[in-house]
Structure 1
Amino acid sequence: MSWLTPWTSFFKRLVHVIAKPMKRDRGHGGMMVHPYRGYGSSDEVFVMGRVFRQAALGRAIPRRGILRDTADVTRRIFRRGLANAQVDIRIGKNELTLATDRDGYFDAHLPITHSLPIDVSWHRADIHVRAEGQSPVRTDVEVYIPPPETDLLVISDIDDTVMFTGVAEKLKMLYRLFVRKPHRRTAFPGVASLYQALHRGETEKAERPILYVSRGPWAIYEMLEAFFQLNRIPVGPILFLREWGISLRHPWPRKAEAHKRMLIDRMLTLFDELPCILIGDSGQHDPEVYTEIVKAYPGRIKAIYIRRVDKDPKREQAIQRLHDELADTDCELVLAPDSILIAEHAHANGDISARGLEAVIRDVKEHREEERREARGC
C-alpha cells in the first residue's frame, strides 16, 4: 500500500515537530520556562512567557524515534502551569520582578530607565525563575526595539491573512509542510515577499517592526515560529490573543476581538510616533475592529489591507460600507484578492520599493503556474 508511505512520513514528522520543545529537558522533567519573543521601545519593553512543570520520561523510553516523540507529545499535553513562581527579568541594567498567574504565565512591562544600545534592534533579556520545591531556572529571550530612524509600524493578523486556517486548508498546509518541500505553498502566495518588502521599506534598508496577532492558543507558538522560518516571513514578536485552557471557572475560550483591540491599542501607544499599516482578512472581525482603530487614532493609520478569503456578496458589501466610512480620513481600506494588489497599493503609497513589488508579482505568478501544472497532472 504505497499510498500510505507519504502519510506515514507526514505523521512521524508532525509528531516530531510537536514533541521538539519537550526535548530541552532531556527527559528529566521538572520546572521549565518558555519565554516568548518580546518587543518594546526606548522607554519600555514587554516580555511574556510561561512557567510550567512537566513529567519526566521513564527509563524504558528510548532517546529517539517515534516512541520517544509520542511520549514527549503526551508529556506536553499534560504539563501544567506553575502559579506564583518568581520571575526576575533583566535587560541591560534594567530589572523587574513579578509572579506568574494561576496558569503559569507572566506578562512583564519593564520601564527602561537605563538606556540600551541604539545600534542594534534585537536585545537579550535574561530571565531567572524560582518556585517552591523546584530547582531555579535561567534562560533568555530576544526583545525587538526598532531603531530610531524607523518610519512605519506594521501590525498583521495571522489566521487567514498569512496562513490558511480553514480545516480543509489546514490539513493541506500540514501535508505540504511535513511531506513536500517545506517552503512551498504553506502560506498565502506572495506573503513572504510582501512582508519582506514592508519590513525593508522603500529604501530596502529599513528594519520596520512587524507585530503579529492570532486568535490561536499559546500552545502552538513553536509551530508558528517554525512556519515563519520555513516560509521566509520576517520574524517578529507573535502576540497571541488568549489562553485556551478550559476549566470549571472559564469553560470557554476568552473572547478574541476585545483582546485583539487591547493588544493593538498597546502597540500604538508604545510606538506613539509611528504611522501604522493594519493587515487582516475578510472572514472575521478585522475590518470592523480596524475601522474603529482608525477613528480612535486620527492620522495614525496609513492603510488597512484586508485579504478577501471568500466571495460572500453580503460580506463584501459590509466591507465596502466600512471603506466609505473612511473616505474622509487619511486611511484607505483595501479589499484585496491577492498579495499583488496589496503590494501595488503599498508601492504607490511609497511604503515598499519597486523591487519589492516585482518580487511579490513574481512569487504569485510562480505559484499560479505551479497550480496549473498540478491541475494538468504534471
Structure 2
Amino acid sequence: MGYGNQNLIYLKGGVLENRPEFNSKATDKRRKNFRIMLSRYLSSPIPEMKVQITLGQENFATQTDDYGYFSAWVEPNQALKPGWHQVEYSINEGDTEICRVLGEFLIVGDKAEFGTISDIDDTILVSHATRLFKKLRLILTKNAKTRLPFEGVAEFYQKLKASENPFFYVSSSEWNLYEFLQDFFLVRNIPKGPFLLQEYKSGLRDLLFTGGGSHQHKQDKIKRLMALFPNLKFILIGDSGQRDTEIYRQALHEFPNRILAVYIRKIGKKDDFDEKTTQEFKEKGVPLLMLENTEMAKNHAKEMGFITK
C-alpha cells in the first residue's frame, strides 16, 4: 500500500516465502485462528530480490532490503486524480515472470480539508496492549471477523473522512498483520487508509511481544506525512496506554500550525495529562483531550467544525 501527492508517491511492500492465504470466518474455531496467526509470524522474508513496479504504462525498479522489504519513491509522468489507484508489482527470472500482485495507493488532492493520523491498537481496535495475557488471548483465539472496535469509532471516523479527507494509520503493529487489519477495517466499515506499520518480524517470540518496541518509528512516519503533504493540517488520535501523547507532543513542536487537535483514548488508570504537556498544548492553541469514550471526541469535533453532524 502507498500514498502520495500528484507529483510524488511512496510505495512499500515485501517479498515473503511460505506465506499462506489467510481467509477467516466469524464461525472459525479457536484452533484455526491460532494456527493462522502463528503462520503470519513464520513466513520467511526474501532479501535482495528485484521488484518491478508498473504504474499504468510506466515501469520502475526497486529491490528488497535485508529484511525482505522494499520502499520506493515514484515520480509518475501521468496525471493522477485524487483517490485510490492500482499498482502492479512483479518479480522476474530472466524473461520469465514468476510472480505478479496488485497493490493500491492513495493520492491526496487539494480538496482535502485536513487529514487524520490514528493509532490502531486500543485506539480503534480493542487490544489490551498493555496487558500481556489479555492481549495474547485476543490475538491467538480471535480473527478479523470477531475482534471488536471501540464503540462509535467507525461512525466518527467516517464523519471525519467526509468526501476527501484522508486517513493514515500509524501503528506499532507489524507488517505481519497487514491482511488482518485490512480485513478488520473492511468488516467494521472503518475508513480505508494506508497502514504505516512496524517492520516485519519473524518467530514465536516476536508474536508474543507484537506491538512492542520504542514506538519511535511512529514519529518518523509522521514526519514523512508532514513533508509529503506540506499544506495539509492533521488531527492526531491515539491512546494513553503507550507513548502516543509524547509522540504527538513532539509533532506539536516540530510542525507548528499543522496540528488541529489531539484526541487520546484513556486506557487503564491514567486520568489526565501531566501539567507540562497540558501547558505546552495550551500555549500552542491546540486542543488536547483525554477521552472516556468516542462520543467525547465526536462532540468536540462538532464544536470545532471538523464534522458537520
TM-score range, shorter chain: 0.7 to 0.9
Residue in 1 aligned with 2:255? 297
SS of equivalent to 1:115: coil
Matched, 1:130 2:92: yes
Contact 1:85 1:130 in 2 (8 A): no
Contact 2:90 2:101 in 1 (8 A): yes
Q: What's the TM-score once normalised by structure 1's chain length? A: 0.69
Matched, 1:282 2:240: yes
Residue in 2 aligned with 1:141? 103
Matched, 1:116 2:116: no
Matched, 1:308 2:266: yes
Query: 1:49-68 to 2 correspondence within 5 Å?
Result: 49-54=13-18
For 2:139 and 2:51, locate their aligned partners in 1 and report how far apart those are by CA, in whole Å: 37
C-alpha change, 1:81 and 1:347, in structure 2 (3 Å) is same
Displacement, 1:334?
Answer: 1.1
Residue in 2 aligned with 1:152? 114
Q: What's the TM-score once normalised by structure 2's chain length? A: 0.83
For 1:137 and 1:308, locate their aligned partners in 2 and report how far apart those are by CA, in whole Å: 45
Q: Which has the larger radius of gyration?
A: 1
SS of equivalent to 2:297: helix
My pick for the range that moved more, 219-228 or 168-177, is 168-177
Matched, 1:168 2:121: no
Residue in 2 aligned with 1:231? 188
Looking at secondary structure, tell me which structure has more strand per residue. 2
Residue in 2 aligned with 1:244? 201
Percent pairwise identity: 29
Gaps of 5+ in 2: 21-27
- CA RMSD of superposed structures (Å): 3.2
For 1:307 and 1:221, locate their aligned partners in 2 and report how far apart those are by CA, in whole Å: 23
C-alpha change, 1:242 and 1:68, in structure 2 (3 Å) is closer
Residue in 1 aligned with 2:278? 323
Contact 2:117 2:236 in 1 (8 A): yes
Gaps of 5+ in 1: 1-36, 57-64, 201-205, 355-378
For 2:158 and 2:232, locate their aligned partners in 1 and report how far apart those are by CA, in whole Å: 19
Looking at secondary structure, tell me which structure has more helix per residue. 1
For 2:19 and 2:280, locate their aligned partners in 1 and report how far apart those are by CA, in whole Å: 54
C-alpha change, 1:72 and 1:294, in structure 2 (3 Å) is closer
Alignment-mate amino acid for residue 108 of structure 1: A
Displacement, 1:177?
Answer: 5.7
Displacement, 1:265?
Answer: 0.3
Matched, 1:48 2:12: yes
My pick for the range that moved more, 219-228 or 135-144, is 135-144
Alignment-mate amino acid for residue 201 of structure 2: W
